[in-house]
Amino acid sequence: MGFSVQDDRQTAPVKTGHEVIQDQLKTLDGSPGVYRMLNAQNEVLYVGKARNLRARVSNYARASGHSGRIARMISETASMMFLTTRTEVEALLLEQNLIKQLKPRYNVLMRDDKSFPNILIPTDHPFPMIRKHRGKRSDKGRYFGPFASAGAVNRTLNQLQRVFLLRTCSDVMFSGRTRPCLLYQIKRCAGPCVGRISEADYAALIDDATRFLDGKSTTVQADLAKAMAEASEAMEFERAAALRDRIKALTAVQSTQGINPRGVAEADVVALHLEGGQACVQVFFIRGNQSWGNKDFYPKTGAGAEEPEILEAFLSQFYDDKEPPRLILLSHGVENPDLVTQLLSDRAGRKVELAVPLRGEKAELVENAHRNARESLARRMAESTTQNRLLQGLAEAFDLEAPPKRIEVYDNSHIQGAHAVGGMIVAGPEGFLKSQYRKFNIKGEAGAQGDDFGMMKEVLTRRFERLLKEDPERKTDAWPDLLLIDGGAGQVSAVAEIMAELGIDDLPFIGVAKGIDRDHGKEEFHRPGEQPFALRMNDPVLYFIQRLRDEAHRWAIGAHRAKRAKATTSTPLDEVPGVGATRKRALLAHFGSAKAVTRAAVEDLTAVPGISEALAQQIHDFFHEKG
């Protein structure tokens, strides 16, 4: 992308509004590009794109005819910045990158940009496993997706196991088996690890599974029925019975897929419902004539944007790191359909079509998605009302200046100092913000000594030193309004000491102690320099704090267990420089165990695929130098 920069910011603006924008027109031409509107504090209010920068900016220079949202934005504008591009598509791409980076107040922002899981059938193994995959599609194989959730993938994998008997064990476990596992015994795997099925027959199972995921389940069922009849005629009754069981399983799967569309093979159904300044977007994923789940999103509406602008911004941001399907069915039109279509087609490397269906099966799919969006938004708004009441009650109970918008709750987890982990969860007006959760591997001596105070000091020091470095003026919403600490007077004193060392003296924090008999409902609350106090047993705020504390405990324990499990399954090979996951699998598959690798000679190590003579010498020296 090539572009030039025109920076017309005023260092000390003395006026705002239409006059400021009018001044910018003197130096603008009709090039495509991106513009930024900034307030008197040089904070970006809005990022927009334009086919013709001069024409677009001249619209803002008018004194009337704007919506309330645009009028407010114009009144706050003290300066503007411009980036010219070669094409309007480049401008749209640059606009979305800047929105994602700067998060301007008046832009529509997608709040959830997590990747979606896929199913992967690898092609680099004679008996490939079928597995869940998330992230970049870098492994060799056939990908199917996206699925709306890990649960949707797991259900599909379970169905594929029942019908096609494909293995789900890792390559290391596969190579180390000497007897069939339990999945073979309960007829959920064909047993390729111990030679119970030939490579050709297993390839036929893979082909059937691929056709099923491509939406050709009826063809697969017909082929299975034909094979069962042939086996019966040949009096191969055991094989016929196995095929009968697979047909039953496939029939059961098909009976649960009654909502699947017949006339839509591949599409995303995107429906928007806007109410009270809040928006919900429902996305249904259809692949191979099968519905692979749905997910709801709640984009920030930029202080009052309308449906076409919200939906266009959502599509541009949603498919930023996801491959769009060939067809996207929409509940509303977008502002620039040709431009969005070109952008998505360029990203996919093939034609992508946008459509707003008015009748038929496609319209029914959109209406179903829109109904889900409407109901999801209604539930969220009801939950938000309750949450706001709880936050208001929390502010009153603890004498806070205002209801907190961001609460951070901290807890530690360890077993006698082993595998110590600190956990942080975040909550606010929208409930638990799970994308903001963090875990801290305890690195100092406090973890090894089981020193809870020391661990808390390390966690908070790391957290707030980073905040002070990245946002010292507290301009972003990353700064909390309230800290909740799992612990009593001792923990509160330790936190007070940490905050004093960091120079943070205006952040309220509260220790939540279990109280008498460590029972729910008898919690005591501790604040620096004050006597502990309690809330009445049936106070909703008390239940709210218990939920926050329990969620922090769950998160910290989960992180601790994951760390402990990883340590349990680790091998000495993990420490060898130059030996990653692929070479580790190759070594274990060749020698059978990590212990055998440590005893191997250099010439034996070089016999392993992917292990050069230099690396073999390095592995040998690593273990022999350690003794």
pLDDT digits (tens, 9 = 90+) for 331-378: 999 999 999 999 999 988 999 999 999 999 999 999 999 999 999 998
Q: Give the DSSP H/E element, type plus range, for residue 546.
A: helix 540-568
At 304-335, the pLDDT tens digits run 789 999 999 999 999 988 889 999 999 999 99
Q: Does domain 572-625 have CATH number 3.30.530.20?
A: no
3-state secondary structure labels for all residues of 87-109: CHHHHHHHHHHHHHHHCCCCCEE
**Planar angle of CA 479, 481, 484, nearest 5 degrees:** 105
Q: Give the DSSP H/E element, type plus range, for residue 191.
A: none
pLDDT at 321: 81
Whether the domain at 18-107 and the domain at 267-378 fall into the same CATH topology: no
Q: How far apart are the C-alpha atoms of 197 and 189, rounded to whole Å?
A: 10
Answer with the residue of higher pLDDT: 233 or 497.
Answer: 497
Are residues 200 and 126 in contact, defined by beta-carbon separation less than 8 angstroms?
no
Which one of 3.30.420.340, 3.40.50.300, 3.40.390.10, 3.40.50.720 gives the CATH number of domain 407-552? 3.30.420.340
Those residues whose C-beta lies under 8 Å from the C-beta of residue 307, and which sit 6 or more positions away, are 272, 274, 332
Q: Strand 33-38's sheet: what is its strand order?
A: 3-7, 79-85, 33-38, 44-50
What percent of the chain is modeled with pLDDT above 70? 91
Q: How far apart are the C-alpha atoms of 117 and 528, rounded to whole Å?
A: 46
Residue ranges covered by each domain of the chain: 18-107, 117-256, 267-378, 407-552, 572-625
- pLDDT band for 250, please (50, 70, 90 cuts): low
At 147-179, the pLDDT tens digits run 888 888 888 888 778 788 888 888 878 887 888
Are residues 91 and 33 in contact, defined by beta-carbon separation less than 8 angstroms?
yes
pLDDT at 13: 43
Q: For 307, list phi and psi in degrees, rounded to 5.
A: -55, -50
CA distances for 314 relative to 51, 103, 115, 149, 172, angstroms: 20, 14, 15, 19, 42
pLDDT at 258: 43
At 68-117, the pLDDT tens digits run 888 999 999 999 999 999 999 999 999 988 998 888 989 999 876 567 88
Dmax over CA atoms of the chain, in Å, equals 94
Statement: residue 274 has pLDDT above 80: yes
Statement: residue 65 has pLDDT above 90: no
Q: Give the DSSP H/E element, type plus range, for residue 187.
A: none
Statement: residue 259 has pLDDT above 70: no
State both tokens at 531.
């006597």
What mean pLDDT is predicted for residues 416-422? 74
Radius of gyration in angstroms for the set of CA atoms belonging to the chain, rounded to a whole number: 30
Statement: residue 246 has pLDDT above 80: no
Answer with the residue of higher pLDDT: 429 or 304.
Answer: 429
Q: What is the DSSP string of 374-398?
A: HHHHHHHHHHHHHHHHHHHHHHHHT
pTM of this structure: 0.71
Architecture of the 18-107 domain: 3-Layer(aba) Sandwich (3.40)
Statement: residue 541 has pLDDT above 70: yes
Statement: residue 567 has pLDDT above 70: no
The 3-state DSSP class for residue 591 equals helix
At 37-60, the pLDDT tens digits run 999 888 899 999 999 999 999 999
CB atoms within 10 A of CB 343: 23
- 510 closest CA partner among 522, 521, 529: 529
- pLDDT band for 539, please (50, 70, 90 cuts): confident
Answer with the residue of higher pLDDT: 487 or 569.
Answer: 487
Parallel, antiparallel, or unpaired: how do β-strands 33-38 and 44-50 relate? antiparallel
Answer with the residue of higher pLDDT: 263 or 251.
Answer: 263
Side-chain-side CA neighbours of residue 288 (13 Å): 19
CB atoms within 10 A of CB 140: 11
Statement: residue 253 has pLDDT above 80: no
Q: Does domain 267-378 have CATH number 3.90.1150.10?
A: no
At 574-611, the pLDDT tens digits run 778 878 878 887 888 788 777 888 888 888 888 888 88
What mean pLDDT is predicted for residues 394-410? 92
Statement: residue 436 has pLDDT above 60: yes
Q: How far apart are the C-alpha atoms of 399 and 525, rounded to whole Å?
A: 13
Average pLDDT of every residue of the chain: 84
Q: How far apart are the C-alpha atoms of 98 and 94, rounded to whole Å?
A: 6
CA distances for 252 relative to 149, 217, 258, angstroms: 22, 12, 11
Task: Looking at 10-84, list the stretches that DSSP marks H as alpha helix, in order from N- to C-terminal side.
Answer: 18-24, 53-61, 68-76
